[in-house]
Chains A and B, each alone.
Chain A
Amino acid sequence: AQSVTQLDSQVPVFEEAPVELRCNYSSSVSVYLFWYVQYPNQGLQLLLKYLSGSTLVKGINGFEAEFNKSQTSFHLRKPSGHNSDTAEYFCAVWSTGNQFYFGTGTSLTVIP
């Protein structure tokens, strides 16, 4: 069975400080990896995805993530946080077996 672990339930950072949200997954097969963002009282929106190819993927709003197969990680980063980045972030994995697995979410708070 697959699992997705988001190591931090809450991440506070000051504005313009770098942001890193961590995600690890367990899988012995090929996977697709995703990061979603959920702003207050809204649905989830795709930030970025890794399907194949370059291990560094860039997404919307200046976010990027790096797929590390040996460490089974897909950490999300942004060089400089902004107040508007305050939201809930979900890491997700899809593997053969046709099922999505979402992490438990990380609440990012960017402090002005």
Chain B
Amino acid sequence: DTAVSQTPKYLVTQMGNDKSIKCEQNLGHDTMYWYKQDSKKFLKIMFSYNNKELIINETVPNRFSPKSPDKAHLNLHINSLELGDSAVYFCASSLGGGGEQYFGPGTRLTVT
């Protein structure tokens, strides 16, 4: 009965590869987010989707592309991975933009 789930939990890959992280929520929320947390714990929003439509797209390289097949899913695809992409990526969801956000457990991405 996990509320927000992400797969995989760990991802180790080499520079230049393409990878995807999946996120699913079973809370009936209409808004989903992707965050990047660096080694200093800084949390930076990357994307926000409301009802499958992109509403926030922060300054993120276009190698990162979110895809929302339906309201319950928001996947993150990353092309041509770089060393600097190494971080923990969190998915979150909320009911509306001002609702409290529920976070997934995170995906630790390591690019070697």
Contacts and interface: CB of A to CB of B under 8 A. Distances in A.
B23 to A, nearest CB: 11
Q: Which of under 10, 10 to 19, 20 to 34, or 35 or more describes the interface residues of B?
A: 20 to 34
Interface of B: 4, 33, 41-43, 45, 48, 55-56, 90, 92, 97-98, 100-106
A88 interface: yes
Interface of A: 32, 34, 36, 38, 41-46, 49, 51, 88, 90, 94, 98-100, 102, 104-105, 107
A100 B105 contact: no
B52 to A, nearest CB: 16
Question: What does DSSP make chain A's interface, helix, strand, loop or mixed?
Answer: strand
B24 to A, nearest CB: 14
Contact of A94 (B42, B90, B98): B98
B97 A98 contact: yes
A105 B42 contact: yes
B104 A105 contact: no
A42 B104 CA distance: 8
Contacts of A46: 100-102
Contacts of A100: 33, 45, 97, 101
Contact of B98 (A32, A41, A42, A90): A32
B101 A43 contact: no
B35 to A, nearest CB: 8
Given A90-B43, A98-B56, A43 B103 contact: yes
A7 to B, nearest CB: 16
Contact of A43 (B41, B48, B98, B105): B105
A100 B32 CA distance: 12
